[in-house]
Structure 1
Amino acid sequence: IAMNRADVLEATGPTAGAHITVRIGATKDGKITAAEGRLIYEAGAYPGSPVSGGCQCMFAPYIVPNGYLEGIDVVVNRPKSAAYRAPGVPVAAFAVETVMDELCEKLSIDPLTFRELNAAKEGERRITGPLHGSVGMVETIQATQTGSHYTAPLNGKFRGRGVAAGFWGNGSGPASAIASVNPDGTVSLVEGSPDIGGTRASASMHVAEVLGIRAEDVKPSIGDTDSIGFTSNTGGSSVTFKTGWASYTAAQDIKQQMIERAASVWDVKPEDVEYEDGVIKHKSDGALTKTFQDMAAQLNATGGPIVGRATVNPRGQGASIAVHVVDVEIDPETGKVDILRYTAAQDVGQPIHPSYVEGQIQGAVVQGIGWALNEEYVLDDDGGMLNASFLDYRMPISLDVPPIETLLVTVPSPAHPYGARGVGEVPVIPPMAAIANAIYAATGVRMNELPMTPGRLQKAMAAKGVEAAG
């Protein structure tokens, strides 16, 4: 099939358009008492919008004693909506976090103080029913409060600062891995999750950590359906958790086999042999010791190759929390929004590969900036796309964004051997609301429609009587 750009944009589908109504009540001292949300999501030509995700996550960063949620899936004559990073949640958070900002203003409470006062904690029940496991909302807020951005002065006309938070539950599922020890001391790892953000590196690091070898000595590859055991879909911020678990377990299998092989070569009991930091040694006889590389070179001559295998279905994955701060400057004559500074704090668990974690966060923020300010499908009455080219579909470019600052908050997940959490989806959730709140701080105009294009903002400012000279 040969598809042009218009075909691709129309056929792959947008995220769901939505109309969301939110109400939140709080006491005068800032404790949330109740919340209500009504979410109407556009499914496109066939049922199946991500309205459930919006309902599950929109109030989840907070303790809400009383709540009501209604989600409605609407079929319309438009392209079928498709999964888009954190499906269904960013627009729901846009509504909630905007109302939170309004509450803070009415109560004269600092936005982060208000969020900390109502922050979700382990053991508290979410509005949709499940209990929170280990969740780093308080720690992420505190990291933001003490960070250099939130405490920095912001001066100048038509400049404003906004904050917003987001929650994503993260996923898991079945995963498989096979790790083979090579005679040169390297390990060939085959796993089943396509690499969309550092999967091969993080899986390799799980194996290397268990075996006490260099990550560079693990050679990862991704098998297809016929060459690796079942591995569930690559999405939901699940891969490092589940495929990491599979890689870790396969490496543990290698470790145990290496102990048994050394015991056989030395003619001792396996329980008298230990493996530590890449070295196999007898617990009491210091003369009996081999490095992983030495043992690997002797495998074929002492019983044959060693292959570690794992199929897992881990549960208890920890949720992710993000808190974002953004400074903007508005051109009152055109309505153009310039992002001056952006900081994304996130509970990332124990980051396996910190620079990849930062890359996931930074990429999601830029995606969120595009969603907030420019990106949209413009459709005609027949459901055809009118801006189906990158000349007309306005995506952010490097000139649109400053360096994205990241604050990695470490609250290890107890359900993972190294404390990892999924990190890829939650950072796209807060940007729209954070930018909207910053626009309000700069202009006094509350935007409630996405994207907040120059034309829409200029029109809203004119209706409010905000002028360049005023």
Structure 2
Amino acid sequence: MKVTEKNGHEYRVIGTRPIRHDGVDKVTGRAQFGADVRLPGMLYGQVVRSPYPHARIKSIDTRRAQEHPGVRAIITAADMPALDTDAVAELGEGAIELKYASQLIMARDKVVYQGQPVAAVAATTRQAARDAARLIEVEYEPLPVVEDALAAMDPGAPLIHADLYTVTPGGGKAEQPSNVAKHIQYERGDLEAGFAEADVVIEREFRTAMVHQGYIEPQNATASWEADGRLTVWTSTQGAFSAREQLAQLLQIPAGRIRVIPMEVGGGFGGKIQVYLEPIAALLSRKAGRPVKMWMSRAEVFTGTGPGSPTYIRCKLGAKRSGALVAAQLYMVYDAGAFPGAPVGAGAVTALSPYRVPNFRIDGYDVVTNKPRVQSYRAPGAPQAAFAVETVLDEIAESLGMDPVELRLKNASAEGDRLVYGTPFNRIGFREVLEAVRDHPHYNAPLPERRGPYAFGRGVAAGFWFGGSLTSTVQLTFNPDGTVNLITGSVDLSGSRASLAMIVAEELGLEPHEVKPIVADTDTVGYTDVTGGSRTTYATGTACWRACQDAIAQLKVRAAQLLEADPDAVTFGGGEFWLWEEPQYRISLKEVVANLQKTGGPIVAKGIVNKLKMAPAFGAHIVDVGVDLETGKVDIVRYTAVQDVGKAIHPTAVEGQLQGGAAQGIGWALFEGYVFDGGVMRNPNFLDYRLPTALDLPMIDTVLVEVPASDGPYGVRGVGETPIVPPIAAVANAIARATGVRIRELPMSPERVWRALGGADQPASDDQAGETG
């Protein structure tokens, strides 16, 4: 289903559903992923990882491994530049201090999470590398483990980093070291007066688990460090330029001597921005004098890369009997894992900004623990925040006897309302989204009657993501047959090639198949930021549009030569140039391109974007669940995702984004979570780490609301982040409506639901323990 705001524009290509340009290669196996790289003389690398979550490295003995006949190189932290600087590496989506980024690659004096690399070996075969890695002897002195973020905040907790001092809201630093890396604060109005004015006040606590992005393809890298000092890296990354900059900083070599070739990516969702194997493969290659290829096992992916942040959130909301929100207070603790950098800032901003709240205070904390250092995961920080706020909103609606959608409509932010940090929203479609939910047949359909122990409930929740810009570069070149090469630095994670090609086809009057999109390496195209943060179609799409305007301007001059007219007399539209005063004199773009050599030679058009207005995307989800009151098992019976997409360039791709985000959010709500025992992960595989499958999900219906953004081509908004924000809270609210019991800790597994329903008097097992009710 599609709800479209009438904006007076008619498009020829935009809004259609052409076959994806990468479709044939993907289904026939021709697409080249990182694991497909083969180079002459290639070696294979293997990392030695710490089995301890916190320990001092007393010694590393590589002598037995060096004697292995297949070994060609071994490295430890001694082979990496010592980076004790406080300089920050910007990842494009998130950031990390260089000294910590270096320790993610190779531990120095101690390890601070299970799976942290301590050494690596390159050998002639993969098996030889594995065998040699087992011969490296590392002596550890185990140290006390801090697994829980709240426990880590205790002044008496063991310090993970002796030189970590809390950055305070004013920008200063605490006098004593602690495990709290940063304290942020947003406030407005008079909090005490606001709560005093409220007729209903509800305060609740929420916990979310550490979760993995769930991509199928493991991290991989192949590096060739040539004798002339040039380094080439093939890798499955969300950002080739981000990878290049990280390599330059970590290895202390000029970025101009590094070429990163992005391969196809088998899933990322924010988890393939930080480099892990790339610097190791590079150092092994330099030492061995031969290319080195590496890839992770599934267990290494779970323990050695960056998952989504676990959280503790205390949420207090106050409202009038009319439903108007008058006060809010949030205490948000985001677990960063072993090094600072949890997405608490994004969580704090997205938590309350969807609603007009005159009085609030938000305190957020970035806390380190002995777990893998977290990375971005699709709308990083926002799903956890929405879980808390949207659940308490639902309770307020219940308390007031008010429809939950009407409560949200009454308080919904609109254009001109301010985010928590003070910046006003430009044009947004939150109200239109909520109205679409209110009027949708799903929301108004009766629920099935209870069948024995099987009860049904319906939940709703909303959320948003900022819609980023950053930098994108695009080039267009023209072939004699009139087709166009679209050269971009944006890695294609989810079919963005097709959307970008459609923009070029729309502007130049071509068919989508006449535009050939090419994802280029760092030596071929200008700087382009990562694919992430819902920025690619918005920002790189704008760069495509600008490149088209540049191309049209250049081709207009060539068309004027062929029409024997002044360029100022020539106009363009629908794939043709003509004289605006004498429209009978016209020539097609393809004819102009075919004559480029006669009129001055080839042309290259470019489009560059490095700052656009924020284009926030709002969504709201409806879910029906069935709960077995005897076992606690929750089934998703019906699901509808509604979102303001600005303008759907390729509706099929947009619908897929909404469905994928909803599926991931459902997994987060019901199944997923790292299970730790003393800092050691107990479920580092897809057998024990439960992901949702097709058997767990119904068909996810989508509604595309089109409220054009203030900037960018055609009013398009990024769509990839928002769909994962509402599902957790929507499922929690549906369970509460079905059972009368609220679950405030994730995952809402059968055991946890069963216990909340009074299924047993004994406490939950360690991996399910948590306060509910």
TM range, normalised to the smaller chain?
over 0.9
Aligned to 1:391: 687
User: What secondary structure is seen at the aligned counterpart in 2 of 1:433?
Assistant: helix
Deviations 1:116-168 (A, max 9, x none): 00000100112232211111110000011111100111022210000000011
**1:462 counterpart = 2:722:** no
* 1:313-324 alignment, distance < 5 Å: 313-324=610-621
Aligned to 1:46: 339
1:430 to 723, 726, 743: 726
Amino acid at match of 1:410: E
Amino acid at match of 1:86: A
**1:114 counterpart = 2:407:** yes
**1:91 positional shift:** 0.8
Aligned to 1:468: none
Amino acid at match of 2:433: T
Aligned to 1:299: 596
* 1:90-239 alignment, distance < 5 Å: 90-157=383-450, 158-239=455-536
**1:333 counterpart = 2:630:** yes
Amino acid at match of 1:452: M
1:414 to 679, 699, 710: 710
Quote the sequence identity (%).
Answer: 48
CA distance in 2, matches of 1:188, 1:413: 28
Amino acid at match of 2:580: K
Amino acid at match of 2:685: S
**1:368 counterpart = 2:665:** yes
CA distance in 1, matches of 2:563, 2:323: 69
292-301 or 136-145: bigger deviation: 292-301
Aligned to 1:73: 366
**1:251 counterpart = 2:544:** no
Kindly indicate whether the alpha-carbon contact (under 8 Å) linking 2:353 and 2:418 is maintained by their aligned counterparts in 1.
Answer: no
22-31 or 281-290: bigger deviation: 281-290
TM-score by length of 2: 0.59
**1:7 counterpart = 2:304:** no
2:327 to 30, 34, 42: 34
CA distance in 1, matches of 2:342, 2:481: 51
Off by >2 Å, runs of 4+ in structure 1 = 284-288
Amino acid at match of 2:629: P
User: What secondary structure is seen at the aligned counterpart in 2 of 1:442?
Assistant: helix
Cα distance change on mapping 1:91 and 1:26 into 2, 3 Å: same
Aligned length: 464
Deviations 1:16-59 (A, max 9, x none): 11100001111111100011111001111111111111001011
Kindly indicate whether the alpha-carbon contact (under 8 Å) linking 2:619 and 2:641 is maintained by their aligned counterparts in 1.
Answer: yes
**1:285 positional shift:** 3.0
Kindly indicate whether the alpha-carbon contact (under 8 Å) linking 2:318 and 2:328 is maintained by their aligned counterparts in 1.
Answer: yes
Deviations 1:332-367 (A, max 9, x none): 121110000000000100111111000000000000
Amino acid at match of 1:427: P
CA distance in 2, matches of 1:121, 1:391: 45
**1:359 counterpart = 2:636:** no
CA distance in 1, matches of 2:424, 2:295: 48
**1:301 positional shift:** 2.1
Amino acid at match of 1:26: A
**1:226 positional shift:** 1.1
User: What secondary structure is seen at the aligned counterpart in 2 of 1:432?
Assistant: helix
User: What secondary structure is seen at the aligned counterpart in 2 of 1:33?
Assistant: strand
State the Cα RMSD in Å: 1.3
Unaligned runs of 5+ in 2: 1-293, 762-773
Amino acid at match of 2:552: K
Kindly indicate whether the alpha-carbon contact (under 8 Å) linking 2:612 and 2:712 is maintained by their aligned counterparts in 1.
Answer: no
Amino acid at match of 1:5: R
CA distance in 2, matches of 1:310, 1:223: 15
**1:423 positional shift:** 0.3
Kindly indicate whether the alpha-carbon contact (under 8 Å) linking 1:317 and 1:421 is maintained by their aligned counterparts in 2.
Answer: no
CA distance in 2, matches of 1:33, 1:128: 18
CA distance in 2, matches of 1:243, 1:459: 49
Kindly indicate whether the alpha-carbon contact (under 8 Å) linking 1:13 and 1:79 is maintained by their aligned counterparts in 2.
Answer: yes
User: What secondary structure is seen at the aligned counterpart in 2 of 1:462?
Assistant: coil
Amino acid at match of 2:701: E
Deviations 1:355-410 (A, max 9, x none): 100000000000001000001001110x2210111111110000100000001001
**1:463 positional shift:** 6.2
2:742 to 446, 459, 464: 446
User: What secondary structure is seen at the aligned counterpart in 2 of 1:450?
Assistant: coil
CA distance in 2, matches of 1:401, 1:110: 26
User: What secondary structure is seen at the aligned counterpart in 1 of 2:313?
Assistant: strand
**1:222 positional shift:** 0.7
Kindly indicate whether the alpha-carbon contact (under 8 Å) linking 1:324 and 1:431 is maintained by their aligned counterparts in 2.
Answer: yes
296-305 or 232-241: bigger deviation: 296-305
Deviations 1:252-307 (A, max 9, x none): 11111111111122331111111111011112334521111122111122221122
CA distance in 2, matches of 1:318, 1:463: 46
Amino acid at match of 1:145: R
Kindly indicate whether the alpha-carbon contact (under 8 Å) linking 1:20 and 1:92 is maintained by their aligned counterparts in 2.
Answer: yes
User: What secondary structure is seen at the aligned counterpart in 2 of 1:241?
Assistant: helix
**1:24 counterpart = 2:321:** no
Kindly indicate whether the alpha-carbon contact (under 8 Å) linking 2:538 and 2:713 is maintained by their aligned counterparts in 1.
Answer: no
User: What secondary structure is seen at the aligned counterpart in 2 of 1:352?
Assistant: coil
**1:401 counterpart = 2:401:** no
Unaligned runs of 5+ in 1: 466-470
Kindly indicate whether the alpha-carbon contact (under 8 Å) linking 2:502 and 2:649 is maintained by their aligned counterparts in 1.
Answer: yes
CA distance in 1, matches of 2:383, 2:472: 28
CA distance in 1, matches of 2:496, 2:673: 30
Cα distance change on mapping 1:213 and 1:81 into 2, 3 Å: same
Cα distance change on mapping 1:94 and 1:464 into 2, 3 Å: farther
The structure with more radius of gyration:
2
**1:209 positional shift:** 1.2
2:605 to 293, 308, 320: 308
Deviations 1:98-123 (A, max 9, x none): 00000001111100000000000100
CA distance in 2, matches of 1:119, 1:104: 14
**1:2 positional shift:** 4.1
Amino acid at match of 2:375: A
Aligned to 1:59: 352
Higher relative contact order (CA 8 A, sep 6+): 1
Kindly indicate whether the alpha-carbon contact (under 8 Å) linking 2:311 and 2:332 is maintained by their aligned counterparts in 1.
Answer: yes
CA distance in 2, matches of 1:388, 1:81: 15
Kindly indicate whether the alpha-carbon contact (under 8 Å) linking 2:426 and 2:710 is maintained by their aligned counterparts in 1.
Answer: no
Q: Higher strand share goes to which structure?
A: 2
